[in-house]
Amino acid sequence: MNPIVNSIVNPISRRAFFGRAATGVGTAALASLMSREGRAATGGLPGLPHFAPRAKRVIYLFQSGGPSQFELFDYKPRLQEFQGSDLPASVRMGQRLTNMSSAQLNFPIVPSKFSFQQHGHSGAWVSELMPYTARVADELTFIKSVYTEAINHDPAVTFLQTGSEIAGRPSMGSWVVYGLGSEAENLPAFVVMISPGGGGGGQPLYDRLWGAGFLPSRYQGVKFRSVGDPVLYLSNPAGFPAEQRRAYLDALGELNQGTLEEFGDPETATRIAQYEMAFKMQASVPELVDLGKESAGTIDAYGPDARKPGTYAYNCLMARRLAERGVRFIQLYHRDWDHHGGLPKGLPKLCKETDQPTAALIADLKQRGMLEDTLVVWGGEFGRTVYCQGRLTATDYGRDHHPRCFTVWMAGGGIKPGITLGATDDYGYNVTERPVHVHDLQATILHCTGVDHLRLTYKFQGRHFRLTDVAGKVVSEILRG
């Protein structure tokens, strides 16, 4: 029933009756409603966390486009023996292909042209393209057996971020904030930042990827921009001083409160909270982006782009500053990892942009004692094929999408450091040890924050939904005791 239509057709609505005619009962009901809304906005839902969390916050470093595991973390020395030969049908096993390589007459195997070495006490294999990440290898847990169901970018990204290939579900960050609330009084609980990648292109990223879906919209991510105000409409208009804005918001709040009392629409409560948050952010965001108190050594550790808004290095530094200020879920997207061709030239550029800032973030968090309760996740939406897409030459090759196995690493926040889980065959084509589905990864992230993925649900259209849909098992092997 639409409460607005109902109030027009029948002015003495049930809600209005309880709100006006029976003031005592109506006030008690409203107080209960606001109490629930207030808990969800600050301290989370009653009963959450379900158990003691190891991670107070999550920083997700999403590499959009599908980084090639062959050139980065999944070392396959035997591919040198197979170079140029056709991928055996017994390995491919009829796996579906994208339209970009389905018409190829053969599928020539191409090994990585970049060298690998083992690093740290863990002996993790890391490519020469990631020298800074190699230095922090003992802090990381590599999962080399992640697999997904989607073979194209948008459904794959949507699946990893929301638990469904179909758009419209709440994002992972929204689920976490819905369940656990916020520890930041003057900043959003869920912040998103995007960097374009060296090529300036890459697959599009839609706002629904950090949207709240069918959850109340107060739980959606807030995207920080790289040009102008970090958040739209944050500054007061010219000639509109802060004291006038405060008076304006107070008056608007009274109007919205009256609407909330009459109709009980949670989106009205969202508007009230968002206006207040915007007012608080007028002071907190300028302080957040002011790097004046950061030491030169810290900024230098993140790389030469750390002072340039919109770069991956800057966003990594901001992620640490947001985490310090109590932001619950911080999502970084870095685009342009989609190398169907020109991989030997294109991939090193992406690694140069991201390797140093990523490692600096890990080291910075550890130095400040924050890595222990901050979960950091690195990965894309799928992997790349062992065979070359298009023409293979002595100096150039590309790789198509590959959902059957790819590498994700995690660090901090309840994760055992310095281990590798899962394995793929000699062709890097199929998982041979400990497969980890996307829903398993999501369940594990929630577990680290103290949330049982089976119990964090929301009823919508007659069904109880959850991030992991009807699947997902926590990857217990990588969790600290």
DSSP 376-422: EEEE-S-EEEEEESS---SS---EEEE-S-EEEEEESTTBPSSEEE-
User: Which of the two residues, 398 and 30, has the higher pLDDT score?
Assistant: 398
Distance separating alpha carbons of residues 49 and 452, to the nearest angstrom: 8
Given this model, what pLDDT does residue 259 score?
Answer: 81
User: Which of the two residues, 24 and 294, has the higher pLDDT score?
Assistant: 294
Average pLDDT, integer, range 157-164: 98
Given this model, what pLDDT does residue 272 score?
Answer: 66
Give the position of tokens 């810290």: 298
Query: In this model, does residue 254 exceed pLDDT 90?
Result: no
Residue pair 467/175 in contact by the 8 Å Cβ criterion: yes
Query: In this model, does residue 200 exceed pLDDT 90?
Result: no
Of the candidate ranges 33-42, 118-127, 132-141, the one whose mean pLDDT is the lowest: 33-42
Query: In this model, does residue 2 exceed pLDDT 60?
Result: no
Query: Which token pair is 59?
Result: 């920083």
Instruction: For residue 25, name the pLDDT band (cuts at 50, 70, 90).
Output: very low
Given this model, what pLDDT does residue 202 score?
Answer: 83
Residue pair 366/57 in contact by the 8 Å Cβ criterion: no
User: Which of the two residues, 262 and 275, has the higher pLDDT score?
Assistant: 262
Query: In this model, does residue 468 exceed pLDDT 80?
Result: yes
Given this model, what pLDDT does residue 275 score?
Answer: 64
Average pLDDT, integer, range 191-203: 86
Given this model, what pLDDT does residue 425 score?
Answer: 98
What is the DSSP pairing of strand 190-195 with strand 329-334?
Answer: parallel
Please list, residue by residue across 94-122, b when 16 or more beta carbons sit within 10 angstroms of its beta carbon and e when fewer do: eeebbeebeeeeebbbbbbebebeebbeb
pTM of the model: 0.87
Average pLDDT, integer, range 458-470: 97
pLDDT in tens, 319-343: 999 999 999 999 999 999 999 999 9
Given this model, what pLDDT does residue 19 score?
Answer: 38
DSSP for residue 109: B
Bridge partners, 388 (sequence order)? 399
Query: In this model, does residue 24 exceed pLDDT 70?
Result: no
Please list, residue by residue across 235-265, b when 16 or more beta carbons sit within 10 angstroms of its beta carbon and e when fewer do: eeeeeeeeeebeeebeeeeeebeeebbbbbe
Mean pLDDT of the chain: 88
Residue pair 395/338 in contact by the 8 Å Cβ criterion: no
Residue pair 194/205 in contact by the 8 Å Cβ criterion: yes
Quick one: how far is CA 13 from the chain centroid?
Answer: 43
Neighbours of 34 (CB within 10 A): 14
Give the position of tokens 């808004």: 309
Instruction: For residue 147, name the pLDDT band (cuts at 50, 70, 90).
Output: very high
Give the position of tokens 């009230």: 272
Distance separating alpha carbons of residues 438 and 412, to the nearest angstrom: 20
Instruction: For residue 5, name the pLDDT band (cuts at 50, 70, 90).
Output: very low
